[in-house]
Amino acid sequence: MATYYISPTGSDGAAGTTGAPKKTFAHCIGLLNPGDTLILKDGTYNATNSGYPSIVGKNGTSLNRITIKAENERQAFISGNGTQPFVVVNCSYLTIEGIRVRNIDAQINGVTSGSPLAFGSCNNLIVRRMLSTHNNRYYNGSIIDLYLVNDSLFEENECYWYHRNGFGGVQSNCIFRRNYVNSRHYPDLAGGYPSSSGEAGGVTGDSGLLVYPGSYNTFENNIAEDVSCAFDIQGYGASLNNQYLGNIALNCTQGLKFNTRTEAPGSNVQNTYVENNVCLNCRSTGIYLRTTTNTTVKNCTVINNVGVGAFFADLYGGYAGDGSSSVFATNVLVANNLGMGFSISGQSSWSLNYCNAYNSGTPFTPVASDSHITNERTIDPQLAGAKIWIPPTSPMKGTGLNGADIGANIIYKYQDGILTGNLLWGPSFPHGAIIAGVNDIAGSSAFDVHTRLGLMPTGAPPVADVTPPSVSITSPSASSTVSGTITITATATDNVGVANVQFYLDGAPLGSPQT
């Protein structure tokens, strides 16, 4: 297992050590075998010094991954010339970490995509803490473009300045975790590839994190800000069993929008699971489900929407899919929305249970007396400034199905689809190294997004609003007298369903806290 260093001022004839780095990506990538690492030293890499990383057919193994990373996070800068400056094709078991990539606007013969960072026909990737900005607006593409990418992890990346998509493409069995995207109102370019958002001048990127199409993906604790649609499924083909857990749409045109886009039998966007998501300050709709089948929405919040409505389910134009649209929502809070609260039409099966529509133009359509709507509310949730959690003084606290809250609590991290007891905000939203003039812009960056979400200025979580866990010991009983090995079974819950449990014997702790 070898480690090689590369620098824009290096030499391919050098040994490739930290003191004698190599120079070109073409040379270094050819050296990499399973278990090897290529470390990018600080500096600006471009077409005239080191060339661009074009990684084709490089495969690590599950035990010996190939790693390409910055020596100092985001201090290695790949500066594009309008082509795709960082491309990975037909690769597996690669880890790419901590590199900054930017493209520019340029018309170039033979170029079909303007993505700074592109992956095609890959599997088992780990892409972490990349800082990727500025797509080439003369062409289509996402900031992080995905085509036939499977079984991969995209974690704590930041995407800025784009007119099309943040993450976008065809992917399955992937995890998108704690990423942040913000289009920064990057407008369409005269004579360039137009965005499709419908916003005047294309002033917001089309999508934050787009499935186009894909199945079995998990989106957990991502934030999309100032885009047309934060979390988007465009079902041109099979889009099955995707799940959205603890995500936030902030100041977007639409929060979550899932569309079936074909008439093929069985091709509906199916079995999508949505839990603990927040849509805040949307300009059109919060949650919009169009010809989807068996969509489940639990403990979500849509507040301060100024558009047509908060929660919609209908049929999408001429795309009736297989005609079996259905949606089931439980413990969903919509409040202070100018348009409709909940609007359901064209569904073969649906239900709203323990949902609250407060201060909306029309709370429920059909009206609340419809038999599909049960335990409904139209009361003030009294959030007291909270946006992404339910405070203990709220009448939504503990009054939903099975004593759960009505609305979302985004306080703890999800990990591989499981809600953990680890705080998400510590102290701010997780992000990589700060680069001046790129991700340090107050009001449109990951580092200070917590202030726009109603958290304390330091980013400290509202721990006072988290109900202390209750613990019940079911075995052995308190009166039992036992010797030897003792197995203790405990159940612990708090207001979001998880807790750390510490066992004690005569006042002394036994081992580490257990979740």
Q: Which amino acid is at 302?
A: V
Structural domain range at position 490: 470-514
Q: Examine residue 460 and state whether it is found in any structural domain, yes or no.
A: no
Q: Structure tokens of 128? A: 């972490």
Three-state secondary structure call for residue 463: helix
Residue 509 lies in a domain: yes
Using alpha carbons, select from 161, 144, 28 the residue that is nearest to residue 86: 144
Instruction: Count structural domains, the chain.
Output: 1
Residue 387 lies in a domain: no
CB 299 within 8 A of CB 328: no
Whether residue 482 lies inside any domain: the answer is yes
Residue 500 lies in a domain: yes
For residue 68, give the nearest of 113, 16, 12, 128 by alpha carbon. Answer: 128
133 lies in some domain = no
Q: How do residues 160-185 score in pLDDT, each as one tens digit?
A: 999 999 999 999 999 999 999 999 99
Look at residue 449 and give its three-state secondary structure: helix
Give 146's contacts (C-beta < 8 A, 6+ positions apart). Answer: 119, 167, 168, 169, 170, 171, 174
Reduced 3-state DSSP string for 299-352: CCEEECCCCCEEEEEECECCECCCCCCEEEEECCEEEEECCEEEEECCCCEEEE
Parallel, antiparallel, or unpaired for β 412-415 and 356-360? Answer: unpaired
Prior bond of 366 cis (ω within 30°): yes
Question: pLDDT value at position 202?
Answer: 53
Q: Which uninterrupted H or E stretch holds 268?
A: none
Please check whether residue 425 is in contact with residue 453, taking contact to mean a CB–CB distance below 8 angstroms.
no
Contact 123, 149 (CB under 8 A): yes
224-244: burial string, b at 16+ Cβ within 10 Å, e else: bbbbbbbbbbbbbebbbbbbb
pLDDT, one tens digit per residue, over 257-271 is 999 877 776 678 999
What pLDDT does residue 499 have? 40
pLDDT value at position 315? 86
Residues 6+ apart with CB under 8 A from 200: none
Cα-only R_g, the chain: 24
d(CA 274, CA 279): 12
Would you tell me how many other CB atoms lie within 10 Å of the CB of residue 488? 12
**Within a domain: 487:** yes
Flag whether 386 is in a domain.
no
The amino acid sitting at 71 is E
Per residue, the 3-state secondary structure of 169-208, as one string, reads: EEEECCEEECCEEECCCCCCCCCCCCCCCCCHHHCCEEEE
d(CA 217, CA 231): 12
Written as six digits, the tokens of 18 are 């930290």
Which residues of the chain, if any, have pLDDT below 50?
464, 466-471, 478-480, 491-502, 504, 506-507, 512-515
Sheet with 142-150: strands ordered across? 54-56, 86-89, 117-123, 142-150, 165-172, 205-211, 227-235, 254-260, 285-290, 309-314, 340-344, 364-365
Q: Where are the beta strands (DSSP E) in 387-499?
A: 412-415, 418-423, 470-475, 489-493
Which single residue is written with the structure tokens 């089309």? 206
Token readout for 48 is: 């005239």
How far is it, in rounded angstroms, from Cα 309 to Cα 347? 18
DSSP helix/strand/coil, 491? strand
Measure CA of the first residue to CA of the last residue in the chain; give whole Å: 37
